[in-house]
Structure 1
Amino acid sequence: MRTIVLLIISNVFMTFAWYAHLKNLQNRHWLIAVVVSWGIAFFEYLVQVPANRIGYRGSFSLAQLKITQEVITLAVFVPFAVLYMGAPLKLDYLWAGFCLAGAVYFIFR
């Protein structure tokens, strides 16, 4: 469970590092966005690296860690896109979730 919680926290940082500059720093030079994103990504790595180490030493294989991270990424990205960035909620997110559910099934069976 620690791995999952840490990966969720990590993905929140990652999503902001990768995409928030599109909204918040749109009128700034791209190098400013890079520096800010790197600063946010630093905190993402402080959580992500321990999460993967705990999971890998525990009960997750490398492939299971990756698929778990992808599911969490979608679960974090959709609310971020809709609530923070103002993107419309689309059925495509649901279909992507079904595809990831299939990936989870095959990697954990």
Structure 2
Amino acid sequence: MTAYAIAVLRPTAPVHPEVLVYIERVQSTFEPFGGRFLSHGKSGEWREGERLGDVVLVEFPDLERARAWYASPAYQEILPMRTAHIPGELVLLDGVPDGYDASRTAAAMRAAG
């Protein structure tokens, strides 16, 4: 099942040189795990709530490969270049299976509750 790495980042100007190195190298860290950018550093159109930051969305074939990417020596080597200079959050998130129907989830919640 597809999984995602979702980061909400709050960069500040000027961009620190280490951040540029991180950006130059990050894509090569997730490609061996089947990862690919779906969105990179877009501010988006926040329709509800307040704007939290810029969004980065990376798709992986499954949660195991997303976890393996995050724990990989290649990513761990460059991670401090971003975290030292850009505050934010990152979550690894499992997708839903093909044929997912939210109404079934609501029915299960109703039955449990």
Question: TM-score range, shorter-chain basis?
Answer: under 0.3
Instruction: Report the structure number with the largest CA radius of gyration.
Output: 2
TM-score of the two chains, using structure 2 as the length reference: 0.27
Question: Higher strand proportion, which one?
Answer: 2
Greater RCO, CA 8 A, separation 6+: 2
